[in-house]
Copies of this chain bind each other. A is one copy, B any other.
Amino acid sequence: MSIQRRKTKVVKIGNVCIGGRHPVAVQGMTKTPTADIQSTLRQISELQAAGAEIVRLAVEGPEDARALRSIKQSSPLPLVADIHFNWRLAIAAIESGVDKIRLNPGNIYRSREVSDIARAAKSARIPIRVGLNSGSVRSRAAGKSAQSKGLIALMAESALRYIRLLEKNAFYDIVVSLKASGIPDTLAAYRRMSRLCDYPFHLGLTATGPSSGGVVKSSIAIGALLLDGIGDTIRISLTDTPFEEIRVARDILEAVGARTFGPQIVSCPTCGRCGVDLVKIVNELSRKIAALPLKKKGPALRVAVMGCVVNGPGEAREADIGIAFGKGEGLIFKSGKPFKKVSAGASVEALLKEAQKIG
């Protein structure tokens, strides 16, 4: 069962295309002050090593906007400038050579300002993300009759009004996001908007809370949209390190079958039936298999590690390589067929050897 993706325009962010049939891109965000060029560049390199394909930076003042020029010269990843409140910062960021800017319709909305930004982005040939947040939409609408409308209608309406303003300036290089902190609201906002335009979507869930619960919330929301075929680039926001955000983003993309980033291990939760230290075996295998030089193209290798004979052989048979343990030893399966028995102690090396042959 594969995902039927929503049809969208294609938008280019530096050398990364999003939308259309392009892979859903993994986006990260630096958590350093942008004006601190060295720290920011170091974090960008670390984000790239973790798997980020696009990186966003907060631009709070003129010193941040100026720093973008040096950061751009050395950055291995396309840069997105995150702009709020001050339209002049958008212009300055564009002049510094960034690959995309993000505007928040909740705090930069005057027609002349938006038109000036659109013209600057058009001549620099970079896209603009119309990045709504439920929080700032509410703030902006506070005290108006709009307040009585539902949040979802308000968000879609605000986004559409902003898009029309850009289009009036013959600007069509647009990406849209509609973040809310609640999951049902976020899903409803993106689903509604998916019927109202064909611009690619940036997916995110804002204000997810402490990291542990944040992973769960982000997985549910982003996962549900991706399974609907909605979403062209994703960024996971956690109150945690930027690298953990990338790890979770990649795990989500793999879980829904949108992308693969390396060998897939399925393993059982262990129970009273398990006769070996499965957690230890899986962790060791997981670490070592990631370091193997396996093929980069085609579907990823599937490895099943199962602790007992109940579901073991069935799961092991559906994988490229599998092992079903009994007491102290395991039966290795290759391409669905029993291959050989090994002791628990020798199992990781035996699986790695077979993985390398197939992989």
Taking Cβ atoms with an 8 Å cutoff, the residues of A that contact B are: 1-3, 29-34, 40, 57-60, 64, 82, 84-85, 104, 106-107, 133-139, 181-185, 187-188, 206-210, 212-213, 215-217, 219-220, 223-224, 227, 237-240, 245, 247-248, 251-252, 254-257, 264-274, 278-279, 282-283, 286, 304, 306, 310-315, 317-318
Contact B213 A254 (CB under 8 A): yes
Closest Cβ of chain B to A180, distance in Å, is: 10
Q: Using A30-B271, A227-B224, A255-B217 as known contacts, say yes or no to A286 and B210 having CB atoms under 8 A apart.
A: yes
Beta-carbon nearest neighbor of A181 in chain B: B266
Say yes or no: B252 contacts A220, CB within 8 Å: yes
Assess whether B136 is in contact with A311, with CB atoms less than 8 Å apart.
yes
Of B183, B278, B283, B315, the contact of A181 (CB 8 Å cutoff) = B315
In the complex, which residues of chain B have a beta carbon less than 8 angstroms from the beta carbon of A219? Answer: 215-217, 219-220, 223
What is the total number of copies of this protein in its complex? 2
Smallest CB–CB gap between A339 and chain B, Å? 17
In the complex, residue of chain B having the shortest beta-carbon distance to the beta carbon of A82: B271
CB-defined contacts of A104 to chain B, threshold 8 Å: 310
Q: Who on chain B is nearest to A245 by CB?
A: B269
**B135 x A216 contact (CB < 8 A):** no
Residues of B contacting A282 in the complex (Cβ-Cβ under 8 angstroms): 209-210, 239
Within 8 Å CB of A217, what residues of B? 219, 251, 255
- State A138–B104 Cα separation when bound (angstroms): 51
13 contacts between A and B (CB under 8 A): A59-B272, A60-B273, A104-B310, A135-B313, A207-B266, A207-B267, A208-B266, A209-B265, A210-B283, A216-B223, A217-B251, A220-B224, A239-B269
Residues of B within 8 A of A2 (CB): 184
* CB atoms of B210 and A272 under 8 A apart: no
A254 nearest CB neighbor, chain B only: B213
**Is the beta-carbon distance between A251 and B60 smaller than 8 angstroms?**
no
**Least CB separation from A266: chain B residue:** B207
Query: Closest Cβ of chain B: how far from A252's Cβ, in Å?
Result: 6
Taking a contact as CB atoms under 8 Å apart, the answer to whether A237 and B31 are in contact is no
Instruction: Point out the residue from B220, B264, B274 that lies within 8 Å of A209, measured CB to CB.
Output: B264
Give the CA-CA distance A133 to B138 in the complex, in Å: 46
Interface centre among A1, A30, A135, A216 (most CB of B within 10 A): A216
Whole-angstrom CA separation of A138 from B316 in the bound complex:
11
Q: Which residues of B contact A210 (CB under 8 A)?
A: 265, 267, 282-283, 286
